[in-house]
Amino acid sequence: MVTFPPGESQDVCAICREPFEEYDPEFAQNYANLVCEACDKKAVTKHGSRDRTKPASETHGNPVYIDGQKCWRRYRFGGYITRLDEHDCDTIEEFHQKHREEFSD
């Protein structure tokens, strides 16, 4: 089970539950548990670490932690989106499986 599965409308952030300012619901529904930019700015590279994340590659830029919660990023078009992991996955493949990532580029 995922709180905001892909294919269902999502208009609030999966972490802070504030309405999205930067994403419209149609865009957000392509992704599971999309996280807003305000939360994403708090992301660190390791649990408990103070290192801020830098945009990198799918392998080196994942996972990230926001307020201690594991998240995975999808890097594309020179940017990225961040999604909350509800199942403590070990790899981004596992995350995609468990969060029914059906969006295709």
Task: State which of residues 39, 43, 66, 81 lies at the interface with Zn ion (CB under 5 A).
Answer: 39
Rounded to the nearest whole angstrom, what is the least distance from the CB of residue 10 to Zn ion in the complex?
12
Two structure tokens written together for 38: 């305000």
Rounded to the nearest whole angstrom, what is the least distance from the CB of residue 45 to Zn ion in the complex?
19
User: Residue 34 interacts with Zn ion (CB under 5 A)?
Assistant: no
Rounded to the nearest whole angstrom, what is the least distance from the CB of residue 46 to Zn ion in the complex?
20
User: Residue 28 interacts with Zn ion (CB under 5 A)?
Assistant: no
The dihedral sign for the CA sequence 102, 43, 26, 1: positive
Residue ranges in contact with Zn ion by CB under 5 A: 13, 15-16, 36, 39
